[in-house]
């Protein structure tokens, strides 16, 4: 499953967390490491650019954070990011440069690359969102299977065991997710793909695709 590797999905120049991904093959492998990585990276951030607002919470001085936002550590909010009214960051989160976390959006154990937008009523948990990925209003990641078994990545007849009970979605660079869509546990969406609104997505969606339904996925190049 080469198409679900870090190299195929992400430009590591577009995240402060590049080193987190250097020694893994698949992006979900970083999920158990986010907590400790933030604690180490936070200590090294330059004080002229970042301020420590609370225990294990580092916020770039150029970021905009609404006074009603709830910020829990470990957390890093990078330069020029915007955290809007009533956003709820539960911890273990890295918010990239110029990213937008919108009103009533909830984050937990995530890496948002630079310029990611989750601007309206989104839930993003145990997930990685690539450069300029965008989730439409009300779209969410589901990160636990209903039967509570470990998450498996499925691509046709191929399967990859993650060993994780909690895993949401891996969105490649420039992915567009339509409003009110649900990304089921273990979803991987390749770079530059579009998901139609109100979709229920699972498994691997190829790069440069338009997902209309599970039986109607077309190549954007065709």
Instruction: Give residue 221's pLDDT band: very low, low, confident or very high (50, 70, 90).
Output: confident
The full set of domains in the chain, from first to last, is 2-207 (2.160.10.10)
> Mean per-residue pLDDT for 151-175?
96
Instruction: Give residue 222's pLDDT band: very low, low, confident or very high (50, 70, 90).
Output: low
Write the DSSP string, 166-186. B--EEE-TT-EE-TT-EE-TT
> Mean per-residue pLDDT for 142-151?
97
* Block residue for tokens 């009110």: 180
Largest CA distance in the chain: 52
pLDDT in tens, 23-77: 999 999 999 999 999 999 999 999 999 999 999 999 999 999 999 999 999 999 9
Is this prediction's pTM over 0.85? Answer: yes
Collapsing DSSP states into helix, strand and coil, what is residue 58?
strand
Please state, in angstroms and as integers, the Cα–Cα distance from residue 199 to each residue in 56, 184, 195, following that order.
36, 10, 7
pLDDT for 166 equals 98
């Amino acid at each position: 499953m080469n198409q679900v590797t870090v190299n195929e999905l992400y430009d590591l120049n577009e995240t402060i967390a590049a080193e987190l991904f250097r020694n893994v093959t698949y992006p979900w492998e970083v999920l158990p490491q986010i907590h400790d990585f933030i604690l180490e990276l936070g200590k090294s951030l330059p004080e002229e650019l970042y301020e420590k607002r609370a225990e294990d919470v580092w916020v770039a001085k150029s970021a905009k954070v609404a006074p009603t936002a709830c910020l829990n550590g470990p957390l890093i909010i990078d330069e020029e990011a915007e955290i809007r009214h009533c956003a709820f960051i539960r911890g273990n989160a890295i918010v990239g440069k110029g990213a937008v976390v919108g009103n009533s959006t909830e984050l937990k154990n995530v890496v948002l690359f630079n310029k990611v937008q989750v601007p309206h009523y989104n839930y993003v948990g145990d997930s990685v969102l690539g450069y300029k990925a965008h989730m439409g209003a009300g779209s969410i990641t589901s990160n636990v299977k209903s039967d509570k078994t470990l998450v498996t990545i499925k691509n046709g007849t191929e399967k990859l065991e993650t060993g994780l009970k909690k895993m949401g979605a891996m969105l490649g660079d420039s992915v567009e997710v339509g409003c009110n869509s649900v990304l089921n546990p273990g979803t991987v969406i390749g770079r530059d793909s579009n998901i139609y609104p109100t979709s229920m997505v699972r498994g691997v969606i190829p790069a440069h695709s338009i997902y209309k339904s599970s039986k109607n996925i077309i190549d954007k190049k065709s």
